[in-house]
Structure 1
Amino acid sequence: MKPLGPQDPGRLGRYRMLAVIGRGGMGQVLLGQAGDGRLVAVKQIHAHLTGSSEFRDRFRREAIASQQVTGAYTAGVVDVDTDAENPWLASEYIAGPALQEVVDSFGPLHLSGLKLLATGLAMALIEIHRTGLVHRDLKPSNVLLTNEGPRVIDFGIARALEDDVQLTATGTVVGSPAYMSPEQAECSPLSAASDIFSVGTILAMAATGASPFQGVSTPQILYNVLYRTPDTSGVPGPLRPVVDACLAKDPVARPTPEQLLEAAGAIAAEPMWPVRVRRRIAETQDEAIRWATGAAVAAVEDPPDSRNPLRRNHLRVIAAMALATVLGVGAALAWGSGVTGHAVPMSEPALALTPDEARLLDPCRLLEPDVLGELGTPTAELVENGNSCDIAYTTADGKKVSFGVRLGISVRETREIFSMTGTALGWMPLLGDDTEARICERAVLTQNGVSMAVRVQAHMTAAGNGCPFAERALSAVVRRLSVNPPLREVPDDSVLRLDPCAILDRKTELDALGDPAKREQSSPHGCQVTGRDWGMDFALKEAPRPDSAARAAKSGLGVKSTREIGGRTVFVEELPYRCYLTLMVRPTRGDKAEIVHIDLFPAPDKIQPGACDRAARVMSSVIPKLPKS
């Protein structure tokens, strides 16, 4: 970025301009800052392109349409002024290098980076095409790289210029010839398939270092796009069929964004950028912070009433608060609130829950309309079951979908059940079971803070594919958890507040399970302990009362009885080589209670009796540490 020049505006709308990001044939892109410190990228159109009312009308229509594009892989439009002398459009500022810059600096991407690029571009097109827009100018310089994936910028503007008389009269090509589709090169009507062709050229460039249609002149490039079969031999084998399919001359033969996403997700590679790319992303973020810091400090260096030290200190505090917003406090608001007009110089905030937050999450409030409202209207009551909750929704087009949130499932079990889909959600790989199914579940595993699984299931009551609904619902849930996680109100001495691993007694574990008795936090309310001879799942949670008739009828685990341990009545369900102990600490609501649950089982090669005696020893060591009921 460069400092503002004498001809550059100091302010556009409610944004103060800080620096020049770049200049081009259409206009210039400026770094702007809102009054609360958040940064935006402001594209200001050149005056000589805005002389006709027709252009302004087209620009206005496209700007309005662009504001409907949302999603983790696009830079959302947050503000626009089509009536200004030089119309401008503000979007989220993405602090990441362009793909073109990365390939020029570091060379082609390896397969892992290509997979992340392909899945991110597919997700971006799904969101753009959902609004009825065709990007029309997809190219490496319009793809910015962030830690969790690519972000597509500049959608919608090329379409506003398509019929501009001044541009076509001078022979200007709208778009970038080396990344155009054949139908775009010959000025034919465009469909969403045109963007898929551009994605194919971008992937080929990222894999080889050059567009597959490169030439020494624009006419030669356009000829290559129209008539030559591209050489994709330099594209890694697993990705080559995907690229070849995207580069089909016939638009009908190209995959849809959903098919592209599925094909990219099937590539056997971990989706991630190389280390050098991640370092460059960090440098770009640091640069944005430096500009924001300089602007915040400059705003208070010499205020009009600087002779008043109290006023001067007050303004410095405001500057520090604005900078704090840029550095992260505002990140959660920008990403998760759904409020137009907030942008930050960073990608989506990582989901990082504190131990207290993770243990007190209210799953049912994650299914309410303020979280899932964009998916439809609830048509049934919430059904809660401990750390799980379910509800039925009806979508705007009349589809009936049931959603379920699962928060208490172990991380290990989630890893075993699901595989990676090839996409990311809020810095977390998106996990799933089926690509297309009437009952579909998606999950993420937190990468920061408490290790936990967040799972969402979508169940179509009639024929249909529940996977898109599961992904959209999980995205909404993660946004809410990142911004303002809904917490239950529980007593100060509730067992739900306790760390399940910390309450266990080390000596008793070694004696009952055998050395090494290794502990692992399996969920916010669960601890898994693995010994030489035995294993144990230990949980402190809210669940159906162990003495309820409904639970007794539902359970079929084994012989049911009670046992006095440490002066408390413990419910026992015993199998020949396994034991389940449940202690009710206190009733809560309905037939629910706070419980302590132990599941003790032998190691695979150590089948032996005596599970309940060992489980009783563990329970006996835990009871004195529990709150009095």
Structure 2
Amino acid sequence: MQPRDRKDPEVLGRYRILAVIGSGGMGRVFLGQAPDGRLVAVKQVNADATDDAEFRARFEREVLATGKVTGAYTAGVVGHDVTTEKPWLASEYIPGPSLQEVVNDFGRLTPSGLKLLAIGLAMALLEIHRTGLVHRDLKPSNVLLTNEGPRLIDFGIARALDDDISLTATGAVIGSPAYMSPEQAECRTLTPASDVFSAGAVLAMAATGVSPFAAGSTPQTLYNVLYVEPDTSAVPQPIRGIVDACLAKDPAGRPTPDELLAAAQQLEVEPVWPVRVRRRVAEYERDAIAWASGSTVPSPEAPRKPQGDHRSRGIRAVAAAAMVSVAILIGSMLVGIGVRGNAVAMADPPLALTERESMLLDMCALLGPDVLGDLGTYRSAPKVINESYCSVGITDPAGQRLSLELSIGYGWAYDTASPMGSTIAWLPVQGNRREGASCDRFVETQIGLRMPLNMQASGLTDSCPLAERALAAVIRRLSINPPLRKVADGSIQLLNACRIMDHDLNLRIVGDPAKKYPTGSSSCWVTGANGEFHLDFREDTRNDNTTPFTSFRELTTLDGWAGTISDRDGWCEYTLTIRPTRDELAEMVRGTYIPYDKTATGGCDRLRTLLTPILAKLPKP
């Protein structure tokens, strides 16, 4: 870790640059700090590496893909700017040693540590695979250990650099031979099973101290991966059975991450790191606090490396923990085998919706007989509630009357949802209860607009299996040919509500941090210190005529658009008709401002300030 020099930026985006972690042929890596005090690793690419327009496009595509990966067992991108002369991205900073370091310093893990490692790897792979990515370089140095469990790093960025001559020179090895799968060694198409093989090799290394395929040369290591059955006799039971299953040469013979997770959870030990590992994690955390406070002196308790290694403990702590996908930028500094960042898109993504498809999904077509026909006979045609909500009644083969509702699932049910332990097309299934007469099941789409699809089922003593079965049928249809609603050119239903907002205006009215959440196909929710701003573009029953309204809703106009206004209990809502569509329906804009201070006044004034520039951008009917 070195201080910034005069050529280094003081700020990148919203991140204050504290120090330099490293530099190389592709750029520099900085230790940064967000406005709320959190530390991040900020990677900035050199301008000469991005002169090529195609490179910039690839870099942007991969940054956005990596941003889809979130979760407690991975480290994700938290900010980026790919439009500047020197593109940069900020990754979550993780104060913890790598698995490689821990095994080198302390020896193999205990059964308790192995259980925590196996659970964490399975959870991380579930998160990465549901985005349509394969990690490709799961190895001990890419697994960081924290008190909460392992964190898997270095995913999603490398594809932007795959065609760079510095990374694909003759003789370069794609991946880390001692931990790559046989299909990767033969340059075949990779699937999630490849990462499961690597996870088995990592578990074996953690249990024994060495990779089961390691040899004196790279060719011999690759030969072992392809043709030699590994000797896992030193791996303690029952973890040995898990490792052996993961290391099957045939991808079809390996467990899925779900199965790996289930097997790890059944190990009859407590999932916890050994004491020496927890102490090492604490040392990293102290070092992080020291850098954040402005001190460049490592904590006095932090141990030094044995003589012969002159790097300080503080440098090791921050450099190892902060390097989430960092190798793509400082690869020329490192000596070893492997590509700098290695995630690639699956050959056949499980659910690949474009943004337009996400916005225009025909929810009622997804409840049609061609999708759900084997669940029962239809009592009536699917009923449109709004563009993001449809319901249908069916009678199952046993004569029971069932109800199914498909929606973009934001709301109280989604807020209380938790993982159910199953997946549909690599997407983890969530729900608000394990069983019940009325039951919700969610999956959150990861490609296109990120949004939860919710299937609610009712009519049985336990409707949860029905909800999950119906949701699986919907996802299968979406993966093949998503049905879309037809809208006119210039429809506001094609607008991205989060993008059309003015961030500086949101920040001034709603308050810091004015964080945006997409809450539907064309909806956005902004939260800040002062309150919330909700914006929806939708098709709904028109309200620009003299139809009677409840006592708290009145006819009004705003910037020439007719609609209604509600002003009560400190919050304000405008619902404006933009253009009639069919029958009594119309395209509508709904804006809502909810102050956190219930005694505050002027909510409608604030809402008008927020809505006015948005209305000015709408296409004219």
TM-score (norm 2): 0.49
Q: Which has the larger radius of gyration?
A: 1
> Which structure shows the higher helix fraction?
1
TM-score by length of 1: 0.48
